[in-house]
């Protein structure tokens, strides 16, 4: 190897090591739930779209998909559900003395609400009732007590017929006996349709299911008492729940760890909706401030199939309800990571560049080469076949600064930051 070639190789390797920690663009986004967490915010990672809804504007949520029969309760907003000892024949006699224990929404699956947690082993048991294969009607076989604030009512989910739930609610003395028809068709393409038992309103809250990945909200989680682990006390926590179809994992790095060295293929992703949860922050009673677990990262596969790395870098508590996330797109939908050995031997030089950059591959490369601004505007695209070296000219009219270089092949996608002087 000639001295000049050796120098170029050393320069290329040095530049690679300097830039490898910047191989992915990091963005920040702010989610605002407002003071007191007044709103729950539905957030889409790819578009940064945010849809807000009053967190306490509803009491019960009914699953919309055609086969769904889940019914969830708005526990953080003063809604409690109690199982009772009576079946539906005891509607008239039902009192508070018949309550057994409170029921809570499942925090791993949207399709198991408080009313579904008592279901048995039968595939036709949905908890609050039984599905009939003869007429395809799910009939309620249980009675419940529902508490809204300080008021108690009795409740019977009578049936789910077609796309309609029929709910009977009355005061404990039998007055104000009301039957509601909750139609799934009022919230097309959503996960749930919502009912407010005080205003008697049935309405849609959330955006279409395909248009959000995470919801920033408050939820209730039964936790053991420190001095009595067998006793569970419900706590209202502020955190993040994932949409159906979103999967994630959590990774805690050492203090000096480099997140860009994480290999997504080394981690299994989970669909538990509260995997991101609430423990990315904690309240320091000594300082009166929120502290973030800033070395806790989440790998998230969103609804569209994109893979993200995310961590929390800001949280202001109930004063503003403001949270700040740092997110990095690791992989677009349908893509995979290129083999590590191949990536490590790619050379991009010179850096910084004046007129253009050369890309040298350890073996013949076939695929597409693209250059983007940091805002995502495509400036250059070239499809090559079995090339060992290619040249990317400086963008026409391109200003000084950083640009994103993307390589697309059938094996995956690779990105690198390049600098033009």
**pLDDT tens-digit profile of 327-386?**
998 887 765 555 655 666 788 889 888 889 999 888 888 888 888 887 677 888 889 888
Q: What angle do CA 254, 255, 256 make, to 5 degrees?
A: 95
**What backbone phi and psi angles, to 5 degrees, belong to 32?**
-115, 115
Confidence (pTM) = 0.75
| pLDDT value of position 6 | 37
3-23+335-420, CATH topology level: Immunoglobulin-like (2.60.40)
Q: Is 344 helix (H, G, I), strand (E, B) or coil?
A: helix
Domain ranges of the chain: 3-23+335-420, 33-53+212-331, 58-204
Exposure string of 247-281, with b = 16+ CB inside 10 Å and e = fewer, is bbbbbeeeeeeebeebebeeeeeeeebbbbbbebb
| pLDDT value of position 267 | 87
Which parts of 113-245 are beta strand (E)? 129-131, 137-140, 144-148, 151-161, 164-171, 178-183, 192-196, 201-203, 214-225, 228-242
Token pair, residue 277, equals 């949860």
Going by C-alpha positions, the residue among 292, 231, 215, 239 that lies closest to residue 43 is 215
**pLDDT tens-digit profile of 4-16?**
333 333 333 333 3
DSSP output for 144-168: EEEEETTEEEEEEEEEEETTEEEEE
Phi-psi region of 254 (alpha: psi -120 to 50; beta: other; left: phi over 0): beta
H or E segment at 249? strand 247-252
Residue ranges of the alpha helices (H) in 83-178?
A: none
Comparing 198 with 342, which gets the higher pLDDT?
Answer: 198
What is the overall mean pLDDT for the chain?
A: 88
pLDDT confidence tier of residue 39, bands split at 50, 70 and 90: very high
pLDDT confidence tier of residue 412, bands split at 50, 70 and 90: low
């Amino acid at each position: 190897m000639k001295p000049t070639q050796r120098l170029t190789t050393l320069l290329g390797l040095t530049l690679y090591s300097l830039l490898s920690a910047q191989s992915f663009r990091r963005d920040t986004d702010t989610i605002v739930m407002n003071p007191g967490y007044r709103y729950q915010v539905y957030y889409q990672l790819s578009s940064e779209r945010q849809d807000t809804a009053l967190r306490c504007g509803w009491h019960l949520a009914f699953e919309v998909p055609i086969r769904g029969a889940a019914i969830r309760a708005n526990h953080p907003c003063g809604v409690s559900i109690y199982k009772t000892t009576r079946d539906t024949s005891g509607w008239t006699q039902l009192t508070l003395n018949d309550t057994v224990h409170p029921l809570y929404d499942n925090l791993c699956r949207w399709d198991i609400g408080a009313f579904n947690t008592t279901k048995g082993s039968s595939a036709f048991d949905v908890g609050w009732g039984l599905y009939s294969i003869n007429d395809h009607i799910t009939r309620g076989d249980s009675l419940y007590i529902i508490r809204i604030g300080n008021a108690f009512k009795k409740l019977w989910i009578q049936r789910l017929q077609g796309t309609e739930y029929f709910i009977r609610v009355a005061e404990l003395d039998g007055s104000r006996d009301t039957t509601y028809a909750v139609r799934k068709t009022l919230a097309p393409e959503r996960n749930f349709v919502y009912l407010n038992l005080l205003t008697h309103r049935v309405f849609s809250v959330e955006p279409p299911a395909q248009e959000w990945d995470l919801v920033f909200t408050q939820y209730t989680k039964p936790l053991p008492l420190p001095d009595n682990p067998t006793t569970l006390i419900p706590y209202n926590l502020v955190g993040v729940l994932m949409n159906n179809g979103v999967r994630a994992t959590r990774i805690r790095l050492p203090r000096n760890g480099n997140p860009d060295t994480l290999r997504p293929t080394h981690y299994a992703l989970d669909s538990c909706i509260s995997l991101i949860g609430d423990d990315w922050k904690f309240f320091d009673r000594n300082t009166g401030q929120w502290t973030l677990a800033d070395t806790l990262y989440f790998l998230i596969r969103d609804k569209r199939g994109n893979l993200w790395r995310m961590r929390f870098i800001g949280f202001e508590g109930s004063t503003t309800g403001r949270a700040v996330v740092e997110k990095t797109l690791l992989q677009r939908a349908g893509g995979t990571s290129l083999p590590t050995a191949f990536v490590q031997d790619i050379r991009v030089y010179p850096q910084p560049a004046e007129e253009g950059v050369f890309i040298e591959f350890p073996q013949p490369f076939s695929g597409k080469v693209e250059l983007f601004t940091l805002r995502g505007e495509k400036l250059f695209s070239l499809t090559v076949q079995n090339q060992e070296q290619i040249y990317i000219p400086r963008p026409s009219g391109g200003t000084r600064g950083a640009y994103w270089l993307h390589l697309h092949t059938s094996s995956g996608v690779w990105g690198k930051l390049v600098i033009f002087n």
